Amino acid sequence: MEISGPLTDALIYYLTVILVCEGARHVADHLFDKKGSVHRFIIEFLGTLQVTTTIYENAVIDIYLGRQAFAITLFSTGLIFALCNRTAFCSPLAPIEQYLFGKLRLGELLQTLAAQFTAGYFAFSFARTIWLRAYSTTDAHSYVMGLMESCGFNHPYPIYYHLAIELIGTFIVRHVLTRATSEARDSRVRFVFPALFMAAVFTGTVTFVGDQALDPLVASTLFFGCRGLNFENYMLVYWIAPTIGWMASAYWDSTGEESSKKKAAKEKKAEKKRAKKNE
């Protein structure tokens, strides 16, 4: 099918990914119990597949249409993901946090991670199939496929600099998003701000830093096995550092919550004492 124009090609790509994943979600809704483990696995798999597959076309947008189009695309796909998500984590950091804080059982954590990494494994194959089957592959698509197949890191700074970005970046991302999506916020803010914030973050890292993921799953999908970084440094930069950064933010919040609870308990106790004295 011959379709000219990188923008048209990109729209076809994104629509294909969204329609396939959303269609599969509807099938899962009808075939499986929504509270069952099979349904949860499928929803997590499809959510992660949608996110990780769109990453490849985002690179094409950046190459062919420029950084502004890249930022707008990130924001738009972020909004679409918010509509389609259906409670999928699409990142190992949040479920690991929930497990460590006792909000998720070990079996649920393992199932979630299995769904995510299965989706990440198939993401490039899905992207490549769309590129080769849906329309005539553009030069940009060929270039990205070549990049993925040759797979080398873009690290303009020393490795410890990229490690620090992953650690500090994930701390900031969780810190900001947790507050932006709290129930106290307006629903419009909870819907729009995460997509806007993450679009700004990733546009900034691509522009000024190089290959950063701020998410172990994204890093595994894009960078695992690439030339220029041995396995130990890869795990340190793209797994250990972001996990520590994310969990540090979670621990920060948990200590704050404990302090607030203790303060509230003391105030309540003081009120009771005052009430008794007044009697």
Mean predicted lDDT score pLDDT of the chain: 86
Q: Is 134 found in the same domain as 9?
A: yes
Q: Is 182 found in the same domain as 134?
A: no
Pair 232, 103: CB distance under 8 Å: no
Pair 214, 242: CB distance under 8 Å: yes
Packing angle between helix 106-133 and helix 216-223, nearest 10 degrees?
Answer: 40
Q: For residue range 226-245, what is the model confidence (pLDDT) as tens digits?
A: 777 788 988 999 999 999 99
Residue 3 confidence (pLDDT): 41
Q: Is 143 found in the same domain as 7?
A: yes
Return the minimum-mean-pLDDT range out of 32-41, 166-175, 253-262: 253-262
Q: Is 106 found in the same domain as 163?
A: no
Q: Is 144 found in the same domain as 75?
A: yes
Distance CA 210, CA 214 (A): 12
Distance CA 173, CA 261 (A): 25
CB under 8 Å, gap of 24 or more: what pairs does 36-40 form?
37/111, 40/108, 40/111, 40/112, 40/115
Q: Is 131 found in the same domain as 9?
A: yes
**Residue ending a domain, choose from 150, 171, 191:** 150
Q: Is 77 found in the same domain as 16?
A: yes
Nearest to 246 by CA among 167, 163, 188: 167
Q: What tokens appear for 104 in the block?
A: 């998720």
Q: Is 79 found in the same domain as 145?
A: yes
Residue 142 confidence (pLDDT): 72
**Residue ending a domain, choose from 150, 170, 189:** 150
Packing angle between helix 187-208 and helix 67-84, nearest 10 degrees?
Answer: 140
How big is the chain, counted in residues? 279
Residue 215 belongs to domain spanning: 152-279
DSSP secondary-structure letter at 156? -
Q: For residue range 39-59, what is the model confidence (pLDDT) as tens digits?
A: 999 999 999 999 999 988 888
> Three-state SS for 227?
strand
Distance CA 169, CA 197 (A): 12
Q: Is 18 found in the same domain as 52?
A: yes
Q: Is 201 found in the same domain as 258?
A: yes
**Residue ending a domain, choose from 150, 181, 205:** 150
| Cα angle: 60, vertex 63, 65; to 5 degrees | 90
Q: Which residues share a beta bridge with 152? A: 227
Q: Is 141 found in the same domain as 21?
A: yes
| Count of beta carbons in the 10 Å neighbourhood of residue 123 | 24
What's the total number of domains in the chain? 2
Higher pLDDT among residues 250 and 10, named by residue: 250
Q: Is 146 found in the same domain as 94?
A: yes
